[in-house]
Amino acid sequence: MNELPETLHEQIKSLCSKGDALVEEKEFRKAFERFDQAYKLIPEPKQNWEVATWVLAALGDAAFLSGHFTSGQKALSFAMHCPGAIGNPFLHLRLGQCEFELGNTECAVDELARAYMGAGKGIFETEDAKYFSLVKTHLKPPASGVW
């Protein structure tokens, strides 16, 4: 896989760092704008670059946290076409949460189950209990019987 020129990579990292700081301050809209600026710097075809995966993850996360579930779903769905996304529990969690909030129960179950299978119950610990409840209603309990 090709690597981005160092100066471009540093620009993207800088914008994402600013976005991360804004997320910490709960300034989700401003964070989304920084992540979007970073995403626009990625050369086409964007899905060929590993950096696109984590920038789209940040976009999706900021959108979800701000209640913009359609934007989150779009960013995270596109991220799934980028290197290293499939099987990433966090990406599946956020995509599943966006799908849930949009009323797409079947897609939500699929994505949330992937998050659970990849990371276990722990990935749900800081999330609203409704997401793990959905997983439990659609999957068989573990052999131990304890979720």
**What is the chain's pLDDT, residue by residue, as a tens digit (147 residues)?**
578 999 999 999 999 999 999 999 999 999 999 999 999 999 999 999 999 999 999 999 999 999 999 999 999 999 999 999 999 999 999 999 999 999 999 999 999 999 999 999 999 999 999 999 999 999 877 777 777
- Last-in-domain residue among 38, 71, 104: 71
Residue showing tokens 């052999």: 143
The answer to whether residues 67 and 92 belong to one domain is no
Q: Cα separation of 98 and 102, whole Å?
A: 6
Q: How far is CA 42 from the centre of its chain?
A: 18
77 domain-assigned: no
Residue 79 resides in a domain: no
Q: Percent helix, strand, coil in the chain (nearest 5)? A: 70, 0, 30
For 116, the domain range is: 87-138+143-147
pTM of the model: 0.93
- Report the alpha-carbon distance of residue 49 to residue 114 in Å, rounded: 23
